[in-house]
Structure 1
Amino acid sequence: MIETILGSSGLTLFILWISKNWILTRLTKAVQHEYDTKLTLLKNNLQQNEKALNVLRNGALENSVYTQKLLYEHKLKATHDLWDNIISLAPLKSLSTHVFSLNYNEMMKLSEQEPEVQDFFKKIDMLKDRDIKEVLDITKAQKSRPFVSHTVWALFSAYHAILQHDFVRYELLKIGTPIDMKDSSVFKVVKVALPEHEKYIEQYGESGLYHLIQILEDKILTELKQFLQNTQENLENIERANEILNTANKLYEENNKLKNED
C-alpha cells in the first residue's frame, strides 16, 4: 500500500516536473518568438528610417549643390557686368586723368575771365561725340550689386563717384562757372573705400582725386578675383561633401546586404 502511494506520488511529481519544464519551455519560446518578431520589426523600421534619412540628407545636399551652382552663375554674371561697366567708364577715366593732372583752379580762373578758354575746353572735350547718358550709365553695375561683396561695391562706388565728380567739374570749366565742391560727399566715399589714403585726400583734396582712380580700379579687380575664387572653393567643397556622402551610403548598403546574407 505504502509502495503504491509512494509510486503514485513519484509519478505525480515526475509529471508535475515534466509539465513545469514543458510550460517553461513553451513560455520561453513564446517570449523569444515575440522578442525576435519585435526585434526584426524594429530593425526593419530603423533601416527604413535610416534610408529615409539618407534620402533627405542626400536631397538636401544635392539641393545645396544646385543652389550654390546657381548662385555662382549669378555671381559670375554680376562680376562680368560690373567690370563691363568699368570699361564703359573709360572715357570719363581718360578725361579725369588727363585734364585734372593740370592745375584746375588756375584753369577755372582763366575760363571764368576769358570766353576763348571756355571755347577751348569745349573743343577738346573728349565726350563731345558721345552720348553722356550712356557714358554715365551704371545700370549693369547696380543690377550686379546683390551678388558682389560689400567691399567690391564700396570700391566701385568710390570709383564712380570720382569720375562723376570730375565730369561735373569739367562741365563747369566749359562755362566758366566756379563752384566750391570742397564739402562734396565724394571725399567721404573715397575715404571709406581707401582709408589708407585718408591723409593724402585731406592734403590734396580735389586735385589729388585723379591719382586714386587707377588705385581703385586695381583694387576692384583684385577683390573680384578673390571673390570668385572663394565662391568657387565653396562650391567645390559642397560637391566634395556630396561625393563623400554618396560613397558612404553605397558602402552602408553593401554592408547591409552582407549582413542579410549571413
Structure 2
Amino acid sequence: MSEILSSSVLSAALVAALIWLSRTWIKTRLTASINLETEETIAKLKSALDATNQKVRDLSAVAASANQHVESKLLEHKIDAIKLVWETVQDWQQVTPATLTISILPEDWIEQNASHHGTRSTFEQLLKGIDPASFLKKQNKVFLARPFVSEPAWALYFAYHSFLCNRLTKAVLLTMPDLEHPQILKRFGERQLVVKSAPPEILAAYDKDPCIGAESYLQYLRESMLSEFNDMLSGRRAGAEALKNAAEVLRAAEALSKSAI
C-alpha cells in the first residue's frame, strides 16, 4: 500500500509539474506570438503613417508652390492697380484751374453770381480744351483697379475722386446758362466728406480757409494713399478699426458723388 501511495503521489506530482510547465510554455508561446503580431502591426501602421506624412508633405509643397505662384501673379495685379490709381490722381491736375477757382470763390458769392455771364465766361475759359464728359469717363476706368487695392487705399482714393469730381461738376454747371444755379449748387456739400476722411487739424484748416484747407486736405489724401500702397506691397493688412474707418469714408464719398443726381 505504501508503494502504491508513493507511486500515486509521485505520479500526481509529475502530472502537476507537467501541467504547470505546459501552461508556462503555452503562456510564453502565446505572449511571444502576440508580441510578434503586435510588432508587425505597429510596423505596418508606422509604414502607412510615414507614407501618409510624405503625401501630406508633398501636397503641402505643391500647395506652397501654387500659393507662391498665385501671390506672385496677384502682386503683379496689385502693382498695375496702384499705377492706374496714381496715374488717375495725377490726371486731376488737368482741371486744377477750375477746381481751385471753385474753392477760392465763397459759396454764397457763387450762388448769387452763378448765372452772371461773366461767371460763365470765366469758367468756360478755365475749362477750355477740356471735355469734362470724356475726362470723367477716362477717370472712371480706375474702378477696374478696385479688386486689387486694399479697402483703406480705395476709400482714400474715392474720397479724393469725389471731392474733385464735385468741384469739377460745379465748374461745369457754371458754364451752363438758364439753370437754377443757387438751388442746384446747394446740393453740393463737400464738408461732410472732409469730416469723415481727415484728421481734426485738416478739418480746422478747411473750415478756416476752404482754398488753402482744400489743398491741405488733398495733400493729406495723396500722402495717405502712398502709405497704404506701401502697406499693400509689403503684405501688411489693415486692422478692424482701419476697415471700419474706410467704410465710413466710402459712404461719405458715395453720398457726395450722388448729391447732384
Structure 2 gap ranges (5+)? 238-261
Q: How does 1:111-190 map to 2 (within 5 A)?
A: 112-115=115-118, 118-125=120-127, 127-128=129-130, 132-175=133-176, 178-179=181-182, 181=185, 184=188, 186-190=190-194
Q: What one-letter code is carried by the residue in structure 2 that aligns with 1:146?
A: P
Distance 1:126 1:56 in 2: 66
TM-score (norm 1): 0.68
Distance 1:120 1:213 in 2: 24
Judging changes above 3 Å, is the alpha-carbon distance between structure 1 residues 103 and 147 closer, same or farther for their aligned structure 2 residues? closer
Identity within the alignment, %: 13
Count residues with an aligned counterpart.
Answer: 230
Q: Displacement of 1:33 after TM fit? A: 1.0
Q: Does 1:217 align with 2:222?
A: yes
- More deviation in 153-162 or 17-26? 17-26
Aligned counterpart, 1:100: 100
Q: What one-letter code is carried by the residue in structure 1 that aligns with 2:225?
A: I
Question: For 1:189-237, what per-residue CA distance to the aligned partner results, in whole angstroms no more than 9, with x for missing partners?
Answer: 33322234233344445774344223211211111111210259xxxxx
Aligned counterpart, 1:195: 199
Q: How does 1:1-262 map to 2 (within 5 A)?
A: 2-3=2-3, 5-7=5-7, 9-49=9-49, 51-53=51-53, 55-56=55-56, 59-60=59-60, 62-63=62-63, 66-67=66-67, 69-71=69-71, 73-96=73-96, 100=100, 103-105=104-106, 112-115=115-118, 118-125=120-127, 127-128=129-130, 132-175=133-176, 178-179=181-182, 181=185, 184=188, 186-196=190-200, 197-205=202-210, 208-230=213-235
- More deviation in 15-24 or 222-231? 15-24
Please, what is the CA RMSD of the aligned residues? 3.7
Aligned counterpart, 1:241: none
Structure 1 gap ranges (5+)? 233-262
Distance 1:193 1:6 in 2: 114
Q: Displacement of 1:131 after TM fit? A: 7.2
Judging changes above 3 Å, is the alpha-carbon distance between structure 1 residues 223 and 55 closer, same or farther for their aligned structure 2 residues? same
Distance 1:67 1:231 in 2: 17
Secondary structure of the equivalent of 1:175? coil
- More deviation in 53-62 or 79-88? 53-62
Q: Displacement of 1:77 after TM fit? A: 1.2
Q: What one-letter code is carried by the residue in structure 2 that aligns with 1:86?
A: W
